[in-house]
Amino acid sequence: MLSQYSVPIVTGLLFLFVIAWVIWLPYMIYSYRRYGFVSMYRFIVFFAVIYYFLVAFFLVILPLPEPGSYIPVQPQFIPFEFVLDIIREQNGFSIQAIVGNPAIWVTIFNVLLLLPLGFFGKYYFHKKFAFVAIFAFLTSLFFEVTQLTGIFGIYDGAYRLFDVDDLILNTLGGCLGYALAYVFMKFVPDITELKSKYPKTLIVSYTRRFIAFSIDNFMLGFISIVLYVIFQDTNIIIWYWVCFFGLFVVVQFFSGGQTFGKWLLKTRVVDARTNKSAKFWQLVVKYLFVVVIPAIMWLFLDSGFIELVGVTNWMMLGMVFGVLCLLAFFQCINRERNVFWDVVSYTRELALPPQVQSEND
């Protein structure tokens, strides 16, 4: 009995990890473009919705039988047969007898199956009751048809029961979930109100900067490989740095401080003193330091340099780690989210207004 529910729950969790790995970046880009920030609360609810649909579907089809190891199940088309099942299975009216009635538990689980669907329909998607009720019915019908057709022909016949009572109980569960969400929203913030919490400051978070920088570097790597294949007598590293300064200096200068990654994340590099487009020399200084600092760290960890200054590998590694921790500490308390190369180049990352703010305006 327990494995009947634990297997779908664990399977749904594994699939959630795969799906989250694929869609987390598009989700982050969408949130930054539309709302100007990523709400952790909204993020958790979003993936909770996905996880629920995965588990609900796996509860319907799992466990899968071995081909030829089952007898096709005949569908049950008599409505409210579950009431007679409860009466037939009931032996007395004590609490122990009621709790031990399997037909009662089957009925409860059928109601609970689509209860989260109704809840999310109201709370997350803000749909009306009629829409949620119809969608719950259609979702239940999809599940039942999946069972009736042996997962749409994968199996020779229905290995699980098509029951019209499931349609009734699942739809009831969706309606109850809607009512539960209506009460729940009286005590917790409406998820659609989170967009009004867009920070009035135009500070760009480290996460947002890192995503934009990673997207640009992925493009640079691809372009460098293409150029290396075309001009095979050259070094691929040289092509990378040529593309690096071409994108982050030349392209940003003529595009008003934006690369493709910054355009996706709705940010731009500006002069910190005027909030206008950064000058050419500022971009050169900024990205020279972006390159120079990692190069110095690599030099410190190089074995030849370590032997030259006469320290051990562990001492040098500890020194580098200490410097990184110190820099990380100052960055954590830095409300402006400026890094070292921003300071020396008199630049800053500026967040552009999100779509919802533009729509409201």
Structural domain boundaries, residue 22: 1-63
Positions in the chain short of pLDDT 70: 1-4, 189-202, 233, 292-337, 355-361
Q: CB atoms < 10 A from the CB of 17, how many?
A: 9
Domain end, chosen from 198, 227, 244, is at 198
Residues 31 and 156 in one domain: no
pLDDT the model gives residue 118: 94
Residues 78 and 55 in one domain: no
Domain end, chosen from 158, 177, 198, is at 198
Residues 219 and 321 in one domain: yes
Residues 79 and 162 in one domain: yes
Residues 78 and 191 in one domain: yes
pLDDT the model gives residue 202: 61
Residues 194 and 207 in one domain: no
Residues 144 and 286 in one domain: no
Domain end, chosen from 179, 198, 217, is at 198
CA distance 271 to 22: 36
Rg, C-alpha atoms of the chain: 29
pLDDT the model gives residue 111: 95
pLDDT the model gives residue 326: 60
Residues 41 and 90 in one domain: no
CA distance 86 to 108: 11
The total number of structural domains in the chain stands at 3
| 235 three-class SS | coil
Tell me the C-alpha to C-alpha distance, in Å, between residue 355 and each of 30, 94, 122, 272, 349: 10, 60, 24, 24, 19
Residues 194 and 219 in one domain: no
The 10s digit of each residue's pLDDT in 238-263 is 888 888 889 999 999 999 999 999 99
Work out the end-to-end distance of the chain between its first and last CA atoms, rounded to an integer number of angstroms. Answer: 55
| 288 three-class SS | helix
Residues 166 and 234 in one domain: no
CA distance 48 to 13: 10
Residues 217 and 343 in one domain: yes
Kind and range of the H or E element at 204? none
Given a contact cutoff of 8 angstroms between Cβ atoms, the answer to whether 64 and 7 are in contact is no
Whole-model pTM above 0.75? no
The 10s digit of each residue's pLDDT in 97-128 is 788 888 898 899 999 999 999 999 998 888 99
Residues 194 and 156 in one domain: yes
